[in-house]
């Protein structure tokens, strides 16, 4: 046995002599084996090469995981629209009359109107996190926030007994597309890629500078995620606005207003507040109907509602009047602005914020503009193309009453209720991102 070992060591010594002048893994391994067999070395001399391979594998694995968790959900559709089309569709038609007056006032039954609204209630939301919230900024944090509360006020008990199946006429087309991005002298492109349509005498450069300022809308001193103190008020000046069914055509007599909170803007407001609550932000949803039985004067009535809510809940930082737009074109077609987000169709939304000047008195308009830009930037970051350009114009819409009050149009009458409600969910996440940014900036 001793002779066999001697012969083996001799053979390996020859191999070592051949390979010892190289730095190859084989050479290093053979030298180590020979020395070990001779009893003058240990295996620690050959660890470095195998160790570096393990480290490389770990880096590759980590990189793969990173790619999977950062896959963008941005849609590919960014269709363009001519300036003339956009101008005609940004008109104030929805705030006056979208169709004939008979359509505006004949869609809510007296029995619905006379039903008593429900009393104010507080709701805790399920901890299930939606796919939409997973894509937004704050949902990437390691800790799951405590749930916020929803304080619901003045929710109507009315149901809609309308027989919608009888509306089968083809009065015009429904054109469904994404407004995309614009290259226009009146367009201001923000740092995120989001845009403002400037319809005022303000300089574009001034608006761009203002968009970089985070608004200061009250103290966040005692705020934390999950606090029961509401930060956001959702209300509706035109509560009864509703939507057309999905299709290529529409019947001009189809009711586009409803007293049923499951069919009108109340349902969109519900989705916004539920998304906020999942992110730990409490809100007030005032569902009071302001546009029936009389449409005219709705803004005066909603101003009273907002003022009462702000007095009752002084912790509120943001008040948002949720509408849907009315986009009917000269050829009687209706435009339904859409965006594909995470494989589902959403209704595009548009923020309207006013400017001081002409016949409009808005001394605190810059704070409203800063808030609008913050929400617009958050939307562009989380859900590209979901937002149409901010409409910055000489308009009031009760924004003179509160520095954090803005109006948001969710879709148009041509969108479906499901599309609008989905946008409500996404918009709730966007508003949550905005609130968290303001909180962390204080």
Name the phi and psi angles at 246, rounded to 5.
-65, 140
The domains of the chain, with CATH numbers, are 2-69 (no CATH), 83-440 (3.40.630.40)
Radius of gyration of the chain (CA): 31
Please report the pLDDT score of residue 124 as a whole number: 56
Which ranges in 173-315 belong to alpha helices (H)?
204-211, 265-278, 298-312
Residue-by-residue pLDDT tens, the chain, 442 positions: 444 444 444 444 434 343 344 444 444 443 444 333 434 333 333 333 333 333 323 332 333 333 332 323 333 333 333 333 333 333 344 443 333 333 333 333 333 433 444 446 666 554 433 434 444 544 443 356 699 999 999 999 878 889 999 999 999 999 999 999 999 999 999 999 999 999 999 999 999 999 999 998 988 888 999 999 999 999 999 999 999 999 999 999 999 999 999 999 999 999 999 999 999 999 999 999 999 999 999 999 999 999 999 999 999 999 999 999 999 999 999 999 999 999 999 999 999 999 999 889 998 899 999 999 999 999 999 999 999 999 999 999 999 999 999 999 999 999 999 999 999 999 999 999 999 999 998 8
Beta carbons of 83 and 182 less than 8 angstroms apart: yes
pLDDT for the residue numbered 219: 86
Q: Is the dihedral of CA 292, 296, 300, 303 positive or negative?
A: positive
Position 125 scores a pLDDT of 52
Per-residue pLDDT at 358: 82
* Tally of CA atoms within 13 A in the half-sphere of 412 that contains its CB: 27
Global pTM exceeds 0.75: no
The residue among 324, 325, 338 whose CA lies nearest residue 175 is: 338
Long-range contact set of residues 9-16: C-beta below 8 Å, sequence gap at least 24: 9/34, 9/37, 9/38, 12/37
C-alpha separations of 48 from 15, 45, 58, 97 in Å:
22, 8, 16, 78
Q: What's the start-to-end Cα distance of the chain, in Å?
A: 82
- Residue 116 — φ and ψ, nearest 5°? -75, 135
The DSSP-derived string for 305-317 is HHHHHHHH-TT--
CA 391: distance to chain centroid? 17
């Amino acid at each position: 046995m001793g002779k066999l070992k001697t012969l083996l060591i001799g053979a390996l010594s020859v191999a070592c002599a051949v390979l010892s002048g190289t730095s190859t893994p084989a050479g290093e391994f053979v030298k180590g084996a020979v020395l070990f067999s001779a009893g003058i070395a240990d295996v620690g001399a050959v660890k470095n090469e195998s160790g570096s391979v393990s480290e490389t594998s770990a880096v590759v694995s980590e990189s793969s995981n990173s790619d999977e968790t950062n896959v963008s959900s941005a849609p590919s559709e960014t269709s363009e629209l001519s300036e003339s089309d956009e101008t005609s569709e940004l008109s104030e038609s929805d705030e006056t009359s979208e169709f004939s007056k008979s359509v505006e006032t004949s869609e809510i039954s007296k029995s619905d109107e006379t039903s008593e609204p429900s009393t104010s209630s507080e709701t805790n939301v399920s901890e299930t996190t939606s796919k939409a919230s997973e894509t937004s900024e704050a949902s990437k944090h390691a800790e799951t926030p405590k749930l916020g509360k929803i304080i619901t006020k003045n929710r109507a008990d009315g149901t809609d007994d309308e027989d919608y199946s009888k509306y089968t006429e083809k009065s015009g087309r429904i054109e469904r597309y994404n407004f995309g991005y614009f290259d226009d002298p009146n367009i201001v492109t923000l740092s995120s890629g989001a845009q403002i349509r400037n319809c005022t005498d303000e300089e574009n450069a001034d608006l761009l500078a203002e968009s970089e300022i985070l608004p200061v809308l009250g103290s966040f001193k005692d705020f934390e995620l999950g606090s029961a103190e509401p930060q956001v008020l959702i209300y509706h000046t035109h509560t009864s606005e509703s939507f057309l069914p999905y299709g290529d055509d529409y019947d001009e007599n189809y009711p586009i207003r409803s007293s049923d909170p499951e069919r009108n803007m109340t349902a969109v407001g519900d989705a916004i507040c539920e998304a906020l609550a999942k992110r730990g932000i409490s809100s007030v949803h005032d569902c009071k109907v302001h546009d029936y039985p009389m449409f005219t004067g709705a803004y005066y009535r909603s101003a009273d509602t907002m003022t009462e809510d702000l007095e009752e809940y002084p912790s509120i930082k943001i008040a948002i009047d949720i509408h849907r737009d009315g986009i009917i074109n000269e050829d009687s077609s209706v435009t339904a602005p859409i965006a594909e987000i995470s494989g589902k169709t959403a209704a595009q939304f548009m923020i309207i914020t006013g400017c001081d000047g002409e016949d409009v008195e808005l001394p605190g308009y810059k704070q409203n503009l800063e808030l609008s830009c913050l929400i617009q930037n958050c939307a562009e970051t989380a859900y590209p193309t979901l937002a149409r350009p901010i409409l910055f114009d000489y308009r009031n819409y009760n924004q003179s009453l509160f520095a954090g009050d803005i109006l948001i149009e969710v879709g148009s009458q041509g969108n479906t209720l499901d599309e609008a409600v989905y946008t409500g969910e996404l918009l709730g996440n966007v508003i949550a991102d905005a609130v968290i940014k303001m909180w962390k900036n204080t």
